[in-house]
Amino acid sequence: MIYNSKRLYLFFLAACIAGYGWIFYNFQGMQSGNLAPDVCLIKRMAHIPCPSCGSSRAVLALVQGHFVQSFYINPIGFIIALIMLIAPIWILRDFTRTERTLLKFYQSIEVLLKRPTWSIPLLLMLLANWIWNIAKGL
């Protein structure tokens, strides 16, 4: 658990920048016809997609407004897009008001995810998504 607020905010900021950079790179690649290379280690080594494979494509579909298509590629794209949209605004809000609401929210989510009532259903959903990914052959 990250207790240090500065580290958490820096981590979120770096992750958002990397995410936006990656999406922008993929978006440009898609328009020029050069698809980005596969970065997933599991897919490279085992030749089967991981549970979150295809989420870049799903977010790209969301950017273009294809909501249904995005869901069919990978539903995790919605979660990633939501985090990428909210996190920078939240960080900016906390920074201007000198509060630590994001840190508190992160810690409460971590506690919640450790409870079996939350973790087991989420794990099952993830497994189902993984099986669907393999069946789709992403």
Q: CA-CA-CA-CA torsion for 89, 94, 97, 99, nearest 10 degrees?
A: 160
Candidate ranges 27-35, 64-72, 93-101, 110-118; the one touching other proteins (CB under 8 A): 110-118
Cα separation of 84 and 13, whole Å?
Answer: 10
Amino acid at 30: M
Residue in 58, 62, 80, 81 binding other proteins, rule: CB under 8 A: 80
3-state helix, strand, coil in the chain (%, to 5): 75, 0, 25
Query: Between residues 96 and 128, which has the closer beta carbon with respect to other proteins?
Result: 128
Assess 63 for contact with other proteins (CB under 8 A).
Answer: no
Give me the residues that bind other proteins (CB under 8 A), please. 1-2, 15, 18-19, 22, 39-44, 50-53, 55, 76, 79-80, 106, 109-110, 113-114, 126
